[in-house]
Structure formats: structure tokens, C-alpha cells
Amino acid sequence: MRAISPITPPAGKRPLRCRIFDPFRETPLLAWLFGAGLAVLLEHLLGESFAALVGLAKVPVLFGLMIILSKPLLFPGALLYVAVIYLLPLVTVALLLARPANTAAAALLRLGPAVSVLFHLALFYAVLHFWAEISGYREMTVKFTLIAVLLTLSLNLINGYMGEFSCSHPGFMALGAYGASIFSLSLFVNDPLFGKALLPAFLGPWLFPLGLVGGGLLAALGALLIAIPSFKTRGDYLAIISLAFLFIVKSLLENLPFVGGPRGMGSQPDYASLPVVFAWTAMGVWIMNNYVRSTLGRSLNAIRDDEAAAEAMSVNTRHTKMTAFMFAAFWAGVAGGLFAHMMRFINPATFGVQRLAEMLAMVYFGGLNSVYGSIVGAVSLNLLGEVLRPLELFKWIFIPLLLILVMIFRPTGLLAFRDFDAVRLVQPRSRDRQGGAP
Amino acid sequence: MRKIPYLLLAALVAGMICSPLAWSKGKSIKIGINAPITGDNPKVGEGTKFAAEMWLADVTAAGGIEVGGSRYPVQLVIEDNEYKPESAVKATTKMIIEDEILVMVGPQASSQAVPAGGVADSYATPMISPWSTNPNTTKDRPYVFRGCFLDPFQGPVVANFIKGEFGAVKAAVLYDVAADYSKGLAEEFKKAWEGINGPGSVAAFESFTTKDTDFSSQLTKIKNSGAEVIFTPQYYSEVALIVPQARELGWDKPIVGSDSWGSADLIKLCGPACFGLYFSTHYAAAGAAGPTREFIDRYQAKYGYVPDDVAALTWDSLRIVQAAIEQTGKLSGKIENDRAAVRDAMAKIREFEGITGKMTFTEEGDPSKCAVIVRITDQGEFAFHKSVCP
């Protein structure tokens, strides 16, 4: 167990950042979640009337930023709303409930780390769910963001952990999207492309995971096809081969009439609800996080740093690379399946070079070789894309500019080289840890 | 230094006092415009935006839209869909839920209009896509309409025109297999032509893929097949390659096209080789009269070029929306009820006089309207030849 320095020097001489964050050093995640829960509850109860009071027409959808950018005069109202509805309860609970929350967190941890982590996850989902429930637009943004997290993390496995530059990810996503769509359109829906439904519609949501996994496996198969010829090459050559794969998938889909050709496929059943997307994303992040912390993941890093040395240290490089590639493609396929059932329309043009650029931006913005970074990159670029809508054309100047700045000042991304230790995240933070973590 | 927080607080309070000034007073009608301002096809977005702004200027000059005796000011909410399906879905959801628009006009291209139509229909918000030709956009969606005719209509129109004009028996088709528009229309034409002239009357059904530039093998096949006319539903840039190549190979029989030919750039690229050819489209700019002429002149004066069919169709769609809002007779102020009322009024529109022709919506929300056959004159202008009605 690591000791946390017990003495804090007198306030006043220390930088502002420390003075702001010091009081929260003993606040465990549990208390933050309770605070967020209270904030969301408050928004449900008082949000609308308080928004009217401070002169806003509606509850600010994404922390008031959109309002500030479109109508700068309303900024005091939006700021006040965020301060009173979000910040105030969050800070109050984080300070007041720190002690009891620490005791609770310790008790939870004694029941077993898995129980504690699942409890935190459930609490987090509850907060997210009630936050998203306020507006359909919020819910849609959350769903797109969660899917982007899955995609970014899976691409980070190859581009970050393995250190190769792969361009075929939209192709994998397309395979997953088409695979899952064919599954649900042919089985549960009367569709002009596939004829009458083969199974009763009520089974659909229950068998949907099978479709997703099927789509993921299809993508993994695609990854195997490209891995066999291309892993004799490295660097630029792999990038070019994987780019070629992306084009092959795209023009294949364009020329196959039974999946709609260039017109694409539409009216997939609406299976990708928020709980479904969240469950898959949480599972994907958990599994991929475990993967990179396992021996396989560590050997992936060894290969990235020096392939010959890794080989000499008994790493089976070919096997490791192949597994990682297929594993990443699987999750990209799952994300594609979720995407297809959320959009309820896919066409080959969706999975082109532009999508690749978006995915790469999220990976490199958030941070290479990093689970945290992938989450941060996907969330921040997705939210920025929505929040900056009022800037119209300047949005496409601002976001790339931000990327350039990140590349200059943090060449590996915002939060590079960080994995996730779920148990450390949920453990109590008190100095006098009577309960104590294991 | 210690005063800074107080100053901030004072500024905040002052802002609070002023902020009611920024409230939007009174009830206004919000119309959403979902257009590709950035992305692969910015020209489409530009035409949409310009037409919408011209319409807004007219409505504002008239003091707003008159419903049941009182005039409501109109606000346009223009969102960029980046020519991407997912952005179109995001923009649609944002406008419907956050901006509380009454009606949405757009998206233009089918790849965005199909998913956006699903969203609009699920939130029971009327939507009209001026330009989307894919049947799935409006299929089984009571709240979704469109402003143009569909491929299953245009195909037979061209087939009937060729039969009547040239009396041909055997026709050939040359189309891009990777473009959804071209492929759909080529198949519709084939069906219609074989319906008129019996099976086997399409002597050659030749394809190529996007960005091909050499069509000599397909054209030679067509020439040797005994076809009397070529139908090629391609975009103007490809037409400018196909037609001269056909002429070089000695093809002197007619070549007929579809509404994708209708761009001023066609003549610039194709030159005299295209003179005397025919194509079907939504409206003819040269020789237009009445309101159509007026629209073209105003647009040209304001933005410096002749409006293409996207702008004209957007203009008509906005005027249909305006007519539907006026016909509701009363706005209750409850957005859900008003949306339903506008939807019902829109479905009831009969014989609407648009600049691209008379429109009446069918059950599916598709207009049954006339197509125009345009002849390219020897001066390179698109002259009205005849109009074909369903």
C-alpha cells in the first residue's frame, strides 16, 4: 500500500492550483459520484424553473457552452446555471460527504474489489442516464461519444500500444456495421433487401449481442486477411497496405447489390439504446484495459520499442501482433454494429478516409498508448464538435488548431501512457484509513 | 489582487440585470435548414443557404408569416451537416429538441436525408427534402416530404419522351455502377423502356465506375449493338467526357440525359459536342417566364450566378412550408400540436404553383409534378422543350 503524504504545508505560500484542489484530496470517487447524482437530481427538479429565472429559454444542454457561443449576452445566466446546478452540489457533497464516503468505499472494498467496481459503475451509469434523460439531443451526443470511445481505444491498441500506423479501422468498422445490420435486418425485420423476418421481433433485442459479436468476428476475419500479407512490412508500408484494405472494403460494399450497393442499408431496428451502448462500451474498455495490462499487452509494448530485442526476449512477435490486430478489429466491428443500429442507416461512403481522419485525431489528441487518453480524446473531440456548432465554419479552424497546439506542446497527446487501475480508482482516500484497502 | 473576485461578482450581477435584454421576446416561427455548408459538396449547401436567405428576406419584408390573422416573425436555424449522415442526424436532433423548430427543410442528398428523415419522423416533426430522390427518404414516414420527383417517375418520363420524339425501338444505357443516383435511374429507365418496347429492347446496358475517364470500349459495344439512342444518367463532368468520345467513335444518333446534367458547367466543359441534345430536369432557366424568371433574375443579381436546381427546389420547398403554416389557420404555441397541424396542412396541399412546376403530394409525401425536357440550343443555353406530367 502506498503512503499518502500526511502533512500539508500551510496554505498561502503554495500555488493556486494546489490551494484549490487540496480540500478535495480526501474525497473518494464515491463522494464525487454522489455529488454528481445530487446535481442531476437538482437539474431534474429545478432545472427548468431555474433556467427561466436566469433568463435562459431552455435547460443548457451541454454545460451552457453552446448558449454562450451562440448568444454571448446570455453568458451570465448560463454561467450561473452551471455554478448553481452543477458545481455547487458537486463541491458541497464532495467536501461534506468525504468522510462517510470513505468509510463506505472501504466497506465496499472489503466485500470484494469486483463488487466495489461494479457498484461505482452502476452509480456512474445512473448519473449519466438521468443527465441524458433531460434532452434527446444530450442522449444522442452521449451515445455517439460512447461509441467513439470504443473506436478510439481499439485504434489506440494498434497505433499506440503496437506502434504501427494502421489506416484500415473504418474498414473494420464497416464490416462490423454491415455484419450486424444483415443479422438484424434479415432475422427480425421485413426488409426489401432480405425479405420477410425469420424470427419474431421480440427476440431481436435479446439476440442483438449475437449480431454485434458476429459483426466483430467478421471484422476480425478481415483483420486476419490483411495481417497475413502485411506483417512482413512495417511503418509506411503497413500504412499503405491498410489504406488499400480500407478502399477494398468500401468498393466491395459499393458493388454488392444484396447489401444495397452505393445506396446503403436503412431502417435497422432501434436496438442501440443508451444502456446497451453503455454496457458494451464499459465491457470493451474493461477488456481492452485488461488486455494491455496483461503479458500480451506488455509484449506489444516491447515490440513497439524494439522488435528484434523483443524476439530475443522470447516474445512471439508474429503471434502477438496478429492477436492484437484481430482483437482491435473485433472491437471496431462491435462499435460499427452499435453505430449502425443507432444511426439506423449505413452506406459505404460513411466509412471512408474522412472517418479515418476523425479516429486518428481522437487517438492522437487524447494520447498514445493510453486508455485514459483514448477516453479523454474521444469525449473531448466529440463534445467540442457539438459545443462549437454555433461557430459554424470557424469550428473547422478551431478544432484543427487545438490539435496542432497539442501536437506541439504534448507530442504524444494529452494523457499518454496511462492505463486504468479500477481498484485504485475506487479505493478510499482518507489519511487515517482505519478500514483500509486490501 | 483581493478585489478581483468582487469585481467579477459585480460584473456577473450587472450581466444578470442586463441579460433579460437578450431574451427573445414574442413568439416566432423557427424553420430549420439542414444543409451541407462544409464537406464534399459545399456548392449544394451554398445554393440552399442563399435560397433560404432570399426567402427569409421576402418574409421579413412582409412582416412575417400570417397565420389566422396575426403575423409571426420567422427565424431561420441553419445547421451544417458536413455532407455526412451522422452529422445530419446530429443537426436534426439538435434543431428539433434544442431549437424547437416547427419544420425542417433539408438535408439535400439522399445519404443524409434518409437517416435524418428517420429522426424527424420519430420526433413527429415535419421535414421536406428538396432534392433527395431515394424512395426510402419518405417511405413509411408520414412526417417526411420531398420537393422533387423520384427516379421511378423520371425513368418512364425519359423513356416516353425518347419513344415519342425519336420513335426508337432499341436503346442503350451507360451509367456509373458506384453512384447510387445513376444506378437507380438506369435501372428505372431499363424497366420503363422494356415495358414500352418489349424485352430485349435495351440493346446494351453498359457500366463504369466513378472517376473513369475512358469510355471507348463501352461506347464501341453500344455502337455495335444496333441501339438507336443512348441514355446516360451521369453528372455533368462525366457527360462532358462521354459525349465527345461517342462523337469521335462516329456515333451520330441522339444522346439523352437526366437532371444531373443541369449545370452551367456542362457547356463550359462539353462545348459544341453537346449542342442539340436533350435531358429531363426540374426546371429550365433559359426562356423561363413569370415567377421562375423573377427568381432566377433576383438570385443572379444577388449572388452572381444562375441558380441551379438545388436552389430552385429549396425555394419551392420553403414556399410550400410557408403555405402549409398559413393554412393551419392557428398556431397554438404548443410546438407538438403545431408540428402535427403543419404536417396535416402540408399533406393536404393541392396544385401548389412552384417555380419548378405544379405540385400535389401523394400519400407517401412525394410530389406528383411535371418534369421538364430541356434542349441544349446551339448557343449552349438550356431551352424549354416540353413538359411531361404524370
Could you give the percent of chain B with pLDDT greater than 90? 44
Number of domains in chain B: 2
* Last residue of one domain, picked from the residues A82, A115, A133: A133
pLDDT of B22 reads: 46
Whole-number Å distance between alpha carbons of A31 and A72: 34
Q: Which residues contact B349 (CB under 8 A, 6 or more apart)?
A: B320, B323, B324, B327, B359, B360, B361
pLDDT of A5 reads: 47
In a domain, A367, yes or no: yes
Specify whether A218 is located in the same domain as A291: yes
The answer to whether the Cβ–Cβ distance between A144 and B90 falls below 8 Å is yes
| Residue B23 confidence class, pLDDT cut points 50, 70, 90 | very low
Contact A21, A8 (CB under 8 A): no
Rg (CA), chain B: 24
Q: Tell me the one-letter amino acid at A381.
A: L
Whole-number Å distance between alpha carbons of A346 and A364: 26
The answer to whether the Cβ–Cβ distance between B94 and A76 falls below 8 Å is no
The answer to whether the Cβ–Cβ distance between B111 and A347 falls below 8 Å is yes
Name which of B22, B96, B209 is nearest A74 (Cβ-Cβ): B22
**Is the Cβ of A263 closer than 8 Å to some Cβ of chain B?**
yes
Specify whether B300 is located in the same domain as B227: no
Residues B357-372 pLDDT 10s: 888 888 888 888 888 8
Specify whether A118 is located in the same domain as A262: no
On the question of pLDDT at A230 being above 90, the answer is no
Specify whether A327 is located in the same domain as A360: yes
Residue with the three cell numbers 459479436: A213
Specify whether B122 is located in the same domain as B163: no
Could you give the percent of chain B with pLDDT greater than 70? 93
The answer to whether the Cβ–Cβ distance between B19 and A140 falls below 8 Å is no
Residues of A whose CB is below 8 A from B118 = 266-267, 344-345
Residues of A whose CB is below 8 A from B94 = 137, 386, 389
The answer to whether the Cβ–Cβ distance between A262 and B118 falls below 8 Å is no
In a domain, B388, yes or no: no
**Is the Cβ of A62 closer than 8 Å to some Cβ of chain B?**
no
- Domain of residue A87 covers 16-133
Residues B29-40 pLDDT 10s: 999 999 998 887
Specify whether A106 is located in the same domain as A244: no
In a domain, A436, yes or no: no
* Last residue of one domain, picked from the residues B281, B315, B343: B281
Specify whether B269 is located in the same domain as B334: no
In a domain, B377, yes or no: no
Name which of A61, A66, A255 is nearest B177 (Cβ-Cβ): A255
Specify whether B125 is located in the same domain as B233: no
Specify whether A380 is located in the same domain as A266: yes
Contact B382, B274 (CB under 8 A): no
**Residue-wise burial string across B147-172, b where 16 or more C-beta atoms lie within 10 A, e elsewhere:** bbbbbbbbbbbbbebbbeeeebbbbb
Number of domains in chain A: 2
On the question of pLDDT at B7 being above 70, the answer is no
In a domain, B119, yes or no: yes
Could you give the percent of chain A with pLDDT greater than 90? 48
Long-range contacts of B113-116 (CB under 8 A, 24+ apart): B113/B88, B113/B137, B113/B146, B114/A264, B114/A266, B114/A345, B114/B85, B115/A266, B115/A343, B115/A344, B115/A345, B115/B85, B115/B86, B115/B88, B115/B89, B116/B34, B116/B81, B116/B88, B116/B89, B116/B91, B116/B92
By C-alpha distance, which of A359, A349, A406 is closest to A174? A349
The answer to whether the Cβ–Cβ distance between A343 and B20 falls below 8 Å is no
| Residue A54 confidence class, pLDDT cut points 50, 70, 90 | confident
Specify whether A151 is located in the same domain as A210: yes
In a domain, A147, yes or no: yes
By C-alpha distance, which of B315, B279, B309 is closest to B295? B315
- Specify the range with the lowest mean pLDDT, choosing from A64-73, A217-226, A311-320: A64-73
Task: Over range A251-266, report the average pLDDT.
Answer: 86
Specify whether B109 is located in the same domain as B209: no
Whole-number Å distance between alpha carbons of A352 and B178: 14
| Residue A271 confidence class, pLDDT cut points 50, 70, 90 | very high
Whole-number Å distance between alpha carbons of B243 and A267: 39
| Mean pLDDT computed over every residue of chain B | 87
The shortest C-alpha distance from A44 to chain B (Å) reads: 17
On the question of pLDDT at A377 being above 50, the answer is yes
On the question of pLDDT at A434 being above 60, the answer is no
Specify whether B136 is located in the same domain as B229: no
In a domain, A7, yes or no: no
Task: Over range B189-199, report the average pLDDT.
Answer: 91
Query: What pTM value is reported for the model?
Result: 0.88
Residues B120-164 pLDDT 10s: 999 999 999 998 888 889 988 999 999 988 888 888 889 999 998
Specify whether B168 is located in the same domain as B203: yes
- Domain of residue B215 covers 151-281
Closest chain A CA to residue B39: A354
Residues of B with CB under 8 A from a CB of A: 12, 15-16, 18-24, 37-38, 79-80, 84-86, 89-91, 93-94, 96-98, 100, 110-111, 114-115, 118, 123, 134, 136, 177-180, 183-184, 209
Specify whether B169 is located in the same domain as B276: yes
Contact B166, B144 (CB under 8 A): no
Whole-number Å distance between alpha carbons of A176 and A211: 9
Contact A370, A380 (CB under 8 A): no
The answer to whether the Cβ–Cβ distance between B86 and A144 falls below 8 Å is yes
Closest chain A CA to residue B8: A76
Specify whether A22 is located in the same domain as A114: yes
pLDDT of B89 reads: 94
Residues of B whose CB is below 8 A from A71 = 22
Specify whether A275 is located in the same domain as A383: yes
| Residue A232 confidence class, pLDDT cut points 50, 70, 90 | confident
Residue with the three cell numbers 439512342: B229
Residue B190: which CATH number?
Answer: 3.40.50.2300
Residues A306-322 pLDDT 10s: 888 998 988 888 889 99
Specify whether A171 is located in the same domain as A129: no
- Cell digits for B189? 429507365
In a domain, B348, yes or no: yes
Specify whether B156 is located in the same domain as B275: yes
Specify whether B255 is located in the same domain as B323: no
Residues of A whose CB is below 8 A from B98 = 58, 61, 66, 135, 137
Specify whether A191 is located in the same domain as A326: yes
In a domain, B261, yes or no: yes
Instruction: Tell me the ipTM for this assembly.
Output: 0.88
Q: Which residues contact B147 (CB under 8 A, 6 or more apart)?
A: B128, B129, B130, B131, B313, B314, B316, B317, B320, B354, B356, B359, B367
Specify whether A25 is located in the same domain as A171: no
Whole-number Å distance between alpha carbons of B194 and B188: 10
Residues of B whose CB is below 8 A from A351 = none
Residue A213: which CATH number?
Answer: 1.10.3470
In a domain, A274, yes or no: yes
| Residue A299 confidence class, pLDDT cut points 50, 70, 90 | very high
- Other Cβ atoms less than 10 A from the Cβ of B238: the count is 24
Specify whether A100 is located in the same domain as A234: no
Task: Over range B280-302, report the average pLDDT.
Answer: 86
In a domain, B390, yes or no: no
Closest chain B CA to residue A352: B84
Q: Which helix (H) or strand (E) holds A153?
A: helix A136-156
In a domain, A248, yes or no: yes
The answer to whether the Cβ–Cβ distance between A266 and B115 falls below 8 Å is yes
The answer to whether the Cβ–Cβ distance between A76 and B16 falls below 8 Å is yes
pLDDT of B118 reads: 92
Task: Over range B42-70, report the average pLDDT.
Answer: 90
Task: Over range B78-99, report the average pLDDT.
Answer: 92
Whole-number Å distance between alpha carbons of B29 and B103: 9
* Last residue of one domain, picked from the residues B281, B316, B340: B281
**Is the Cβ of A323 closer than 8 Å to some Cβ of chain B?**
no
In a domain, A333, yes or no: yes
Specify whether B272 is located in the same domain as B354: no
Whole-number Å distance between alpha carbons of B311 and B18: 40
Closest chain A CA to residue B13: A76
Specify whether B162 is located in the same domain as B222: yes
